[in-house]
Amino acid sequence: MASGAHLITFDKVWKSYGQGEAQIHALAGVDLAIKRGEFVAIMGPSGSGKSTALNIIGCLDTPTAGTYSFMGIDAGRLDRNRRAMLRNLYVGFVFQGYNLLARTTAAENVELPLIYRGVAARERRDLAMQALAQVGLVGREHHTPAELSGGQQQRVAIARAIVTRPTLLVADEPTGNLDTARTHEIMELLTKLNKELGLTITMVTHEADVAEYAKRTIRFVDGRVASDTAKLEVAQP
């Protein structure tokens, strides 16, 4: 029942690197549950395991021990290609460094996940235009990343993440490269997507004012969840 109610559950998840004495535990028995529609900020010092946790949540990585379940699927035990399929169908990614393809237009960047889904060219274009409109980039479809500002590039990346209408958005320091004004614009956009589309967002950040936009903050220390606080003043729908 728990997996039905929760989009994401960690059950005693361990992630270890190395052997014997030199073994390092990035995650040391993490239990965690995130429901659909949540907007979760993951914080913690570097080396605390927050990025590892985010990679597992995004089905990029798998636990060494314990169970990671995504949409009720034991995603931690799927092979590469099945996880790729999960990512393509249900997960959108936003990175600190935008990670757009250089010398490729905004529209083509946004279309990319649809290509791997086998969507026809015309439909791809339409969906890409819609996504770009949702992030407020109408008229910039044919600009390449080099011709766009940092904030605009991150909007293109968000459009690429949501063009497949994913269930989950995974954001790794999405505002890490942006100035304060741009940071707030991007965070407001994410908040809007969370509210309007019901998009579940998990976001790693180390800035407290960015984390403020989330409804829940999970703090990692030494591979364990140190605190997990929900923002009480925001009423859950």
Partner 1 sequence: MIWETVRLSLRSIRRNVLRSFLTLLGIVIGVAAVIAMLTIGSGTTEKVKADISKLGSNLLVVRSGRPAGPGGPGGLDQVVRPLAEKDLAALVAHLTGARVISPASQKQVRVIFGTESLTSGVTGTDSAYLDARDWKLVSGRPFSDSETRSGTGVCLIGETVRQQFFGSGDPEGEIIRVNRTSCKIVGLLEPKGYTGFGQDQDNVVLMPLHAYQRRIAGNRDIDSIYIAADDRTPTSELQPRVEDILRDARRITPDRESDFAIRDMTQIADAMASATATMTGMLGAVAGVSLLVGGIGIMNIMLVSVTERTREIGIRLAIGAHEKHILIQFLVEATVLSLLGGIIGILIGLAFAGLASVTLTIPFAPNPAVILLAVGFSALIGMVFGFFPALRGARLDPIDALRHE
Q: Which residues bind partner 1 (CB under 8 A)?
A: 55, 58, 60-61, 80-81, 84-85, 87-89, 92-93, 95, 99-101, 103, 112-113, 115-118, 160, 164
CA distance 152 to 88: 23
**Rounded least distance, CB 100 to partner 1, Å:** 8
Q: Are 106 and 142 in contact (CB under 8 A)?
A: yes
Nearer to partner 1, 154 or 217 (CB): 154
Nearer to partner 1, 105 or 134 (CB): 105
Q: Are 171 and 163 in contact (CB under 8 A)?
A: no
Nearer to partner 1, 14 or 95 (CB): 95
Scanning 31-117, the segments in alpha helix (DSSP H) are: 50-57, 80-90, 106-115
**Rounded least distance, CB 28 to partner 1, Å:** 19
Q: ∠136-140-143 over CA atoms, to 5°?
A: 140
Nearer to partner 1, 70 or 93 (CB): 93
For 88, residues 6+ apart whose C-beta sits below 8 A from its C-beta are 113, 116, 117, 164
Secondary structure of residue 229 in the 3-state scheme: strand
**Rounded least distance, CB 236 to partner 1, Å:** 30
Q: Phi and psi at residue 118, in whole multiples of 5°?
A: 80, 25
**Rounded least distance, CB 219 to partner 1, Å:** 22
Nearer to partner 1, 28 or 60 (CB): 60
Report which secondary-structure segment, H or E, holds 126: helix 121-134
